[in-house]
Amino acid sequence: MGRKGLSRREFIRFSSLVVGAGYLGANAAKSAAGMMGGGGGMGGGTSVIDPPPGALFRDPPVAWNKSTAANIVEVDLEAGVTQVNVNGTMANLLTYNGGFPGPTIRVRNSDTLKINLTNSLSMLGTNILGHDRDITNLHTHGLHVSPEGNSDNVMRMLMSGDTFNYEYDLSKQAAGTLNFYHPHVHGSVAEQYWGGLAGALIVEDDLPVLSGFETHLMILKDIALSGADPEPYTSTMDFMHGKVGDTAMVNGQVNPVLNIRPGQVQRWRVLNASNARFYMLSLEGHALSVVGTEGGLLDKPYPQPQILLSPGERVEILVKASRKSGSYRLLSLPYNRGGGSMGQQVTLLTLSYKGSRTSDAVPSVIDPEAVRVQEMPMATRTLALSMGQGKGYINGISFAGMDSTFEIHSMLGTWEIWRVVNQSMMDHPFHQHVNPCQVLSISGGDAGYASLYTSAPAWKDVVLIPKMGSATLLVPVMDYGGMSMFHCHIVEHEDIGMMGLWHIGDHSM
């Protein structure tokens, strides 16, 4: 389809947007009431979840590399139902290889990564959106790899019982990145992700400046249980709001205790793998120095009093134990993401000073090659996110398969400017596959978030678009042609249509 035809359709859909835009605002009171049952964070007023310090912090297990060949990492993943201890309750979670979260895949960008995914899910029937519950697949979120063939091709579906061998050429992937993997079958992502299917995928770096620091991975994921099962999706409102659980966990643990030596600097890789819970991270008495984002490491540390991490976002931080000995809580401070949500304070982890004093220093330079790019765009686009009538839309079109989608055609080897506009009363974390971007501007929302990502040389594949606000993104279209996509990473919103297709081709397209 030619560009001209697209623009016309875009325009027609655009003109019908305004009707749907105010829907969530008008129904905010009703929404809040509807979430009181098990939804935790959406109730009226600010609440506090402050569980006592729990067990010792554990990093997720590392996936076993079955390859003995140099430069090949091969991992078997099996998606299935496993009983997992969730804060004292044995719950039937959806797991990769029986664990929650899934095992961490560790690679270098000189490697070829092979993932053999077996679908052992056995949920029967369809969900309330009419999609099969047990069909799954794999998205390697954040990887700059081909979206085609047996690479990061989310159009591929695995029926229950199927195995598929994915293979990823990582040669153009940035080092020093925290990525992750999760299902990506339109219409059933939210339920499978909510049930537990997510794991980290780390591309190591070779920077000596960071190599000496004790390093931990923190996967933030929340859940609400109904008996021994993840709370089911029972209404359109579950999809409009996105599920927020009353149990917020780090690596499946409630308020674990992480030890740090006085004077020590630790490197933390933090991933928000929650469906719809936003985290405003704050460590009592300490600054958090951001040194990396989704697409790579930064030029220097950016000390922040707090860091807003929306669903799908990742951040790498350095933390120095610079206070007097004691225990300090890593909190998620109240943040209002809109749509009837009110703030909630949650204690995520307790950092406990322990052991002999050391005197680590936070380095002044991290990756001197990280810069904010300046490129001439080949195209400038506007992508408008909206909600209404139980659906999500991009430029007025609710994704429902290849016949109903907003789509764009980009030329390989060029740069584009995307102005992403949020026309709803609720924040949307916008995610594009394959090519991470840099943020030129953000209008609305949290001032600290906008300031950080419009000044640091940060590569992002999820950018928070504030309610009734916007962001302008500089998007590279590099290395890989094929059909890719962009969508909201409140994955419920993706399931109800806030997704579009991104066709990447050459001049002939």
Residues in contact with Cu ion by CB under 5 A are 428, 488, 490, 493
Distance CA 352, CA 267 (A): 15
Q: What is the distance of C-alpha 300 from the center of its chain? A: 23
- Least CB distance to Cu ion at residue 279 (A): 16
Least CB distance to Cu ion at residue 183 (A): 18
Nearest to 268 by CA among 163, 279, 424: 279
Least distance to Cu ion, CB of residue 493, Å: 3
What token pair was written down for 389? 């009538």
The CA R_g of the chain, rounded to the nearest whole Å, is 21
Structure tokens at 470: 């916007």
Identity of the residue, 416 or 427, whose beta carbon is nearer to Cu ion in the bound complex: 427
Q: Which is nearer to Cu ion, 77 or 488 (CB)?
A: 488
DSSP state at residue 225: E
Q: Closest approach of Cβ 447 to Cu ion, in Å? A: 21
Is 109 or 310 the residue whose CB approaches Cu ion more closely? 310
- Counting Cα atoms < 13 Å in the Cβ hemisphere of 335 gives 26
CA 238, CA 505: separation in Å to the nearest integer? 37
Which 8-state DSSP code applies to residue 60? P
Of 114 and 182, which has the nearer Cβ to Cu ion?
A: 182
Closest CA to 317 of 452, 174, 157: 452
Give the largest CA-CA distance in the chain: 68
Smallest gap, in angstroms, from Cβ of residue 166 to Cu ion? 27
Kind and range of the H or E run holding 281: strand 279-283
Q: Which residue is nearest to Cu ion, using beta carbons?
A: 488
* Nearest distance, CB of residue 262 and Cu ion, angstroms: 42
Looking from the CA of 163 toward its CB, the CA atoms found within 13 Å total 9
Instruction: State in angstroms the smallest separation of the CB of 294 from Cu ion.
Output: 17
- If the CB atoms of residues 63 and 490 are measured against Cu ion, the closer one turns out to be 490
Per the rule left: phi > 0, alpha: psi between -120 and 50, beta: everything else, 87 is left
Number of separate helices (H) and strands (E) present in the chain: 9, 32
Taking the chain, what is the end-to-end CA distance rounded to the nearest angstrom? 8
Tokens of 153: 């091709």
Q: Tokens 């506009």 sit at which residue?
A: 421
Least distance to Cu ion, CB of residue 378, Å:
28
Q: What are 432's strand-pairing partners?
A: 486
Q: Is 62 helix (H, G, I), strand (E, B) or coil?
A: strand
SS3 123: coil
Closer by beta carbon to Cu ion, 24 or else 32: 24
**Which of 259, 282, 257 is closest to 270 using CA atoms?**
282
Query: Nearer to Cu ion by C-beta: 25 or 54?
Result: 25
Nearest-approach distance from CB 430 to Cu ion, in angstroms: 8
Place of tokens 């019908």: 16
> Which of 67, 382 has the CB closer to Cu ion?
382
CB 272 within 8 A of CB 310: yes
What residues are paired with 200 via a beta bridge? Answer: 180
Omega before 101 within 30 of 0, i.e. cis: yes
Q: How far is CA 105 from CA 63, 142, 236, 306, 316, in A?
A: 5, 13, 35, 28, 17
CB of 37 to Cu ion, least distance (A): 22
100 vs 239, beta carbon nearer Cu ion: 239
Whose Cβ is closer to Cu ion: residue 346's or residue 488's?
A: 488
State the minimum distance, in angstroms, from the CB of residue 121 to Cu ion.
Answer: 25
Task: State the nearest-atom distance from the C-beta of 470 to Cu ion, in Å.
Answer: 14
Whose Cβ is closer to Cu ion: residue 466's or residue 476's? 466
Pick 116 or 443: Cβ nearer Cu ion: 443
CA distance 468 to 183: 29
